[in-house]
Amino acid sequence: MIPSSFPPRDEIARLTAAMLLESGAVHFNAREPFTHASGRRAPTYIDCRRLISYPRIRSVLMDFLAVTVMRAAGVEAFDNIAGGETAGIPFAALIAERLALPMTYVRKKPKGYGRNARIEGVMTPGQRVLLVEDLATDGGSKLSFVNAIRETGADCAHTAVIFFYGIYPGVEESLAAEGVTLHHLCTWHDVLAEATARQAFDAATLGAVGAYLRDPQGWSDAHA
């Protein structure tokens, strides 16, 4: 079960950013930009899957995520914790353990044989489901998972992630329009602030990341 005392939201964001840096989940490279799944070019890349290999860091982050959700949604707000395939599954299991709730997971698409199901585990009509993933960019994958959950007759009005890009306008509003509230621990702005404070990268790289965060599409176009 989770402890009862936690730091305020801004300190959670700073500590999360620090742990992402410490675990090597943060990659900055302006000379050889990364290509994201969207096709955009960026000097940033985040690999939250690394966190499962750091027991102390993952434990603290899961405590942070559990309390962040409970502060916003309520202590008795959920009946089921669902992880999104694949990166969300281990984090959903850890949150379900902390909240003493059943855990399920949602496939990206039906598996094509057997029951042809997208939901694995036991999810029943009327259950209030929290969708857990590692990160959120533009929110598109979240809605696909939410819709699969809702097709069972369960309700899904909240999704929680460790990391939210926080650089594309209208993401939280678009999710809210679909009846979904996004909860997160930190954004690229928090990571850049902590990386700058720690001098974790050279000044030119930090400057390029700052420019990207101010205008991600413009930066991507200029480095296509």
List, run by run, the mean pLDDT of 10-residue segments along the chain (224 residues). Answer: 79 98 97 90 97 98 96 96 97 97 94 76 98 92 94 97 96 96 98 98 97 96 91
For residue 180, the model assigns a pLDDT of: 98
For residue 116, the model assigns a pLDDT of: 66
In the chain the domains, ranked by start, together with CATH numbers, are: 9-222 (3.40.50.2020)
Handedness of CA 207, 208, 211, 216 (dihedral sign): negative
Judge contact between 104 and 148, C-beta under 8 A.
no
Note the pTM of the prediction, 2 decimals.
0.94
